[in-house]
Every structure is written in structure tokens, then in C-alpha cells.
Amino acid sequence: MLEIRKSLQIWLTGIMVSVFMFSMYPTVLEASQLGFQKRASDVILNSLKVHPKHSFLRKFYTQLFFMPAWVREGSTSSATKEFFAHIKNDITLYRNSKLYQDTVLLEGMAKEIYSNRGTLVQKINLEFKISQLYKGYTDYAYFGSINWGAFQARISNLMVNDVSTEWVLHRPDINPVGMVENTLLGGSLGEQLQDAIPSIYRYKALQKELQRYMTLKANGGWQKVVIYGKFKLGAEEKGIPSLRERLSITGDYVSCGESQEGLVYDVCLQKAVKKFQARNGLAVDGVVGSGTLRTHNRSIDDRIITIRLNLDRIKWLNEQHSKRHIVINIPDFRFYFEEDGKLRQTMRVVVGTPNHPTPIFSDIVEYIVLNPYWNVPTSIIQKEFVPKLIKNSNAMKKQDIEIRDGWGKNAELIDPSTIDWHNYGEGTHMPFRFAQVPGNKNALGKVKFLFPNKFAVYMHDTPSKSLFGKNKRAFSHGCIRLQKPRELLKTFSTFNSNIDFGKSQEILKGKKKTRMNLKERVPVDVIYLTAWVDYDGVLQFRNDIYNYDKMQLKSFRKW
């Protein structure tokens, strides 16, 4: 009895609010339509009584107070026409996709119903079908095809297998039902759908690249390049024409005055190869070796799915609204400092190994430390240092690492030869603090940039400068090592009046730890994009160093 009374109360409330809305917005609904709207609301309400409480249609129309969004008495609504037009103009949809074909089907159904003066029941059936299409399309366009739950489960499995990582999500700030509500109050659905397209990380430019690659596929894509052995400038090879054609298709090769257009690997073709290598994260040497050839021969379908995957990742990245912004793209091994949306500074970085991956997350740089101590994480102590101490109790001395009897300010130094290190292997309690003192041997170098987070990840200098010369730079335990930390320090000093760069340089000559809080803090986003459009409008691809592409594609939804 209580449930019946509760349902009746909800029903009456819905009807009262509907009548209220009809009376409040006479300019939205013509007087001749009010009767139809009322009858349609009654049919919608009665039809949905048999639907599960948490079904999409029931929740959708409850929020709309059971008002029809897509049908009117004499024709479909303007929202329907805008919605259908938006789908048909979506450059990311193949014409044979279900979403596109369903749109064409419902357009035909609507035409038939209204040309034959269809019944109210037929119109409400059409209404429901369009709502279901709307749900499918907005899920596709604004939330994407990645099954984040399945992906997070796979990451959790990695943690079980001793690879600790995490990908922090930022749900898209999109309210599809709210868009329809605004439309019922006189807004344009088409404009809202267009405005909801992400603008961060040059998303729309990447969308256009997807369209370009879809067109390339429709025109036959590209053939496999077959070349034997490695060759350099001036070499003659019968596979050269296929290489030139492959690079022409993707726009890397443009004929020039020095081009011989034959079997010779000439200057013009070498320039195209270097361009291709640069935008694929390869060593830019102009030499066509096995790595460059393997990347050339990735299929058009592979490239299209990679672009789609990264479009969907961008949807779930944090949208910053600050004057300054730091971005670290892990597969790119690179740091970017943006100001007013433009690139101000960039440098190479070293990121975590596949066994110690750098997490994907957002935070804010709050302070800088000069001449830092390195407080060694327990995992490194137990996995790497304890075995060394078992063999040689003086092992830490060579690395300028102090061992103290706790984490307090007054914790005393201990003599490692007095400790039985066999008792402190993996999985045991570690009561000692290992800290590498400031200096040239310090693993953090001379500068570190802190954005306090649960992962204990930050940006820092490093004494291992040679690693920045490598093309693939996944060598750390998860932190981000900077190629030019002092240049970044100088950048921070330009908008933080309390940071004197000249004085900082003097401090760095010594070993005294110095902390500098930032008056103007900067948000930082650690991201994972294997396809994107760069600041110059050039499409970039990178290798999937953590196998996240493979993991996410295992449950990638098809539309």
C-alpha cells in the first residue's frame, strides 16, 4: 500500500510540475501544442510504469517531468532535426556505423508516421527510439568507448603482480539530459551538442586527423613497404618508390627540386623520412632501419583505432582553467609548460619503467627544494639496498646515504654494521630511514619540484644526464626526471617574486637544503597519449610503453 501511495505521489508531482512548466513558458510551447503535450505526457508516464526503476528511459523522462522531447503533433521537434543533423555531420562516424544507420532509419520512420498521420502511440514509440539513440550517441561522443572499469581491474591485477600503478580519472563535465531540458526551455540542442565537444589537448584537431585517416582508408590506405637491409642517403633500392608513395599518402613527403623520383634515396626523400621519424618518436637520423620500417608498416586500421583511443582518453583528462599549465606526456617522454594556452618551454624527461610506471594523475606544483635530500622509499630499500647491505655493511656509504633510527627530527645515525639486515627483507617492517644527503651523487640532483600526492611522485634533477640522450627514456622508479631543471627554476622565478634566480644559483653551489614556497602555483597533469596533434598542428604517434593501449582495446566498445 505504501509503494502504491508513493508511486501516486510521484505521478501527481510530475503532472503538477508539467502543468506548471506549460504555463510558465508560453513562448516555448504554442497554445495549440499544449493539448498534445499533455496527452503525450500521459502516454509516456503510463508506458514507463512497466520499465525497471533504474532504466534509462524511466530516469530520462522522470527528469523531464514526462514531457516529450522529440515529437510534436504535426512533426518532429526542432531538437530532433538538430540532433539528426549533428549525428550526420559527425566526422568521426562511418556511414555504415550503427549510430549513423539508426539515425537514417529513424528519419525515415518519422517521415512515414507524420505523412500518414500516425497515432499518438506510434509517435511516442518514435519518441522512445530517438531517446535511446540520444543515449547511445552522447555516450559515444562525450564519454567514449573505453571500458574504464575493465581497465582499472586490469591495472589492479598489475598491482597484485608487483607493478604498482594508477590512472586517476576526471569524469567529463557533460549532462546530456540537462541539454534536453534546456532545449525544452527554448535552447538550441545543436549548439549545446557542439559546445560539449572537448577543446583541451587540441581535441578537435585530432578529430580532423581521424577524418583524414578515415578518408585515406576509404581510398585504399597504403601498401606495405618492402625494403631489405638498412640504407642511407644516396643508396639505391628497388623498394624506394613504395617508401616514397607511403610517405606521400600521409603528407610527409613533398616533391622538391632535388628529388630524382627514382630508385635513389635522395635528399628530398630523406627529409620526409626525418619528418616521419620525428612525429613518430623515433631517432631522427634519416636512416631507414628496421624500427623506422616497422613503424611505416603499421596499418591504416591500426592508426585509426589509435587515434580513436586517444580521443576518448582526452575526454577523461582534467580540464585546467589556469594561466599556466604543466603537461608531462609519458609515451612522449617530454615536459611542456604552457602559458595562456601557448607553449612556453619544453624539455625531455625520464619516466618510470614498465615495472615502476609513472601514475596518470593531476596535481599542483606548490614548492621547490634546492639541494634536496632523497628519502629512499621502503620498496627500494628492501628490494635493492638491503641485499647490498647483507653483502657489505658499508654499501650505503659509497652512495652518500645516511641511515637513521627513525623519521623524527632528532633521529640518530646508526652504524649499519650493527644491524642484522636479514631481518628486513621484503614485506617486513622497516624502522630505519635511508636518506641520501645533498650533493652531486644525490639521485634527485640539485633541484626538485614538489606537488604533494599519494604516489610520492615529483619532478626533479638527476646526476644521470646521459639518459636524456636516449630515444626511449623509461628508467625511473616512477618520478619524473627533468633534462633542464634549472631552466624550469628560472621560469618559475619570472612569476614568483619570492624566488630570486641569481640567489638560487648561489645556493645551488653549496649543499644546504633550501625550500621555496610558490606564491603562484602551477597545475600539472601527467597524461598518457600515444596519438595527439602538437602545438604546430602536426599529428604525432608514440609507442605504447606501458601496454595501456593494448589493455584498453581489449574491451573497447564498437558503435
Quick one: which H or E segment has residue 2?
helix 2-24
292: how many CB neighbours lie within 10 A of its CB? 23
Beta bridge partners of 338: 325, 343
Three-state DSSP class for residue 46: helix
DSSP 413: B
Q: Which of 183, 186, 185, 209 is nearest to 196 (CA)?
A: 183
Rounded CA-CA distance 286/266 in Å is: 11
Contacts of 113 (CB under 8 A, 6+ apart): 122, 123, 126
Rounded CA-CA distance 269/286 in Å is: 9
Rounded CA-CA distance 224/26 in Å is: 64
In the sheet that holds 401-404, the strands lie side by side as: 374-375, 433-436, 401-404
Three-state DSSP class for residue 381: helix
Rounded CA-CA distance 533/274 in Å is: 18
Q: Distances from the Cα of 192 to the Cαs of 67, 187, 491, in angstroms?
A: 19, 8, 39
DSSP string of 239-277? THHHHHHHHHHTT-----TT---SSB--HHHHHHHHHHH
Catalytic residue among 86, 325, 460, 477: 460
Catalytic residue among 296, 325, 356, 479: 479
Q: Distances from the Cα of 432 to the Cαs of 254, 386, 387, 407, 416, in angstroms?
A: 62, 11, 15, 8, 10
Beta bridge partners of 476: 352
Instruction: Please count the CA atoms within 13 angstroms of the CA of 13 that sit on its side-chain side.
Output: 9
CB 336 within 8 A of CB 349: no
DSSP 385: I
Contacts of 488 (CB under 8 A, 6+ apart): 335, 337, 345, 347, 447, 449, 459, 482
Beta bridge partners of 347: 335
CB 146 within 8 A of CB 313: yes
Active site residue 479: yes
Active site residue 54: no
Residue 320 sits at φ, ψ, to 5 deg, of -90, 150
Catalytic residues: 460, 479
